[in-house]
Amino acid sequence: MDVSLQEKALSLWQKGDVVAFPTETVYGLGADARKGEAVARIYALKSRPQFNPLIIHVASVEIAKRYGQWNAWADALSRFWPGPLTVVLKRQGGISDLATAGGDTVGIRIPNHPTALALLAAFDGPIAAPSANRSGRISPTTAEHVAQEYPENPPLIIDGGPCVVGLESTVIDLSTTTPTLLRPGAITRTMLEDALGVTFAQGDVAGVLKSPGQLASHYAPTKPLRLNATDYTATEGVLAFGPHMMEAAVSQQLSLTMDMAEAAANMFAALRLLDAHPQVQSIAAMPIPNAGIGEAINDRLMRAAAPKS
Ligand code: TXA
Ligand code: MG
């Protein structure tokens, strides 16, 4: 990253302003997590309901330990950092109430992206950052997507290229006696169970409203989305996975070779393109296996398909 751009981003963060930056999952809209006013600017820009807690991004485990009460579970999972995993811990050390939505826990992660890590290390503090979409819309996986969200009042956007993971981080609650998976992601259920030596109860993810990422409609295109489609109509755009249904007039391919990681990386961009396509009235999504990162892909698709309130 350009040195003067980095300086500009840092000075905005230092004076309590918002900067959009890349991570390996999706682009984030970041501000100093210790300053209520700075965090309020994020909520205002996103038009986000204020009861949603934000993820705190840090450059090192050492900084994470300043803001969350570390425990043995966290130790066992720190092997996935830097990476697409957020751990929820008991809160300490001066994170603003607004960033945690007034709760007594805090979600923390170290993102695995060179630009994000360089910025966070230079800042040497906690950056609260939700995905950089406006509330309820599709998460941005390129700098251009971020710019599209804020046509009138764009924040400074640091371009770090397309996000390689493409789905928001896995969120796991480690603040209670038994860990709970709150949001599936690229660090899969099995990876977490192996690292922790536990088995999550089935339905953990669907059940709890503790993580408002669980709100029914989320990550949503503006057009209706039909899941597990094995056919399509003339007015549907196809969200394709593999070689079938490619003869559709409008389609976006997630992965021709049915590679799940590739599908995850392409999903939000593909949804955006279908959503914006003038010939598409609704979207037909082909079935995707629920194994591994497929659980996270299907979680996002289900939210995208949920009726909007
Ligand atoms: O990959 C990601 O996590 C991206 C990038 C920018 O890091 N960020 C992201 O943030 O997805 P956001 O705000 O869109 O989603 C944060 C999720 C929400 O579902 C929120 O409820 C949950 O994390 N979360 C954050 N802090 C929490 C806490 N203390 N307890 C429970 N859930 C929490
Ligand atoms: Mg989000």
List b or e across 139-161, with b for residues whose CB sees 16 or more CB atoms inside 10 angstroms: bbbbbebbbbbbeeeebebbbbe
Cα–Cα distance for residue pair 23/36, rounded to 1 Å? 23
From residue 197, give the alpha-carbon distance in Å to each of 108, 183, 206, 296: 21, 19, 22, 21
Q: What's the confidence (pLDDT) of residue 201?
A: 77
Pairing between β-strand 225-226 and β-strand 282-285 as defined by DSSP bridges: parallel
Ranges of residues in the chain with a pLDDT under 50 are 204-213, 215
User: Residue 2: enclosing H or E segment and its boundaries?
Assistant: none
Question: Alpha helices of 68-203 — where are they, by DSSP H?
Answer: 72-77, 114-123, 143-149, 189-196
Q: What's the confidence (pLDDT) of residue 52?
A: 85
Return the ligand 1 atom nearest residue 106 CA. 29
Torsional class of 203: left (φ above 0), alpha (ψ -120 to 50), beta (otherwise): left
The answer, yes or no, to whether any atom of ligand 1 lies below 6 A from the CB of 119, is no
The answer, yes or no, to whether any atom of ligand 1 lies below 6 A from the CB of 28, is yes
Q: What's the confidence (pLDDT) of residue 220?
A: 81
What is the sign, positive or negative, of the torsion defined by CA atoms of 48, 210, 265, 156?
Answer: positive
The answer, yes or no, to whether any atom of ligand 1 lies below 6 A from the CB of 53, is yes
Best residue among 25, 45, 95, 131 to mutate for probing ligand 1's pocket (most ligand atoms within 8 Å of CB) is 131
Strand partners, 57: 109, 127
pLDDT per position as a tens digit, 67-105: 999 999 999 999 999 999 999 999 999 999 999 999 999
User: How many residues are recorded in the chain?
Assistant: 309
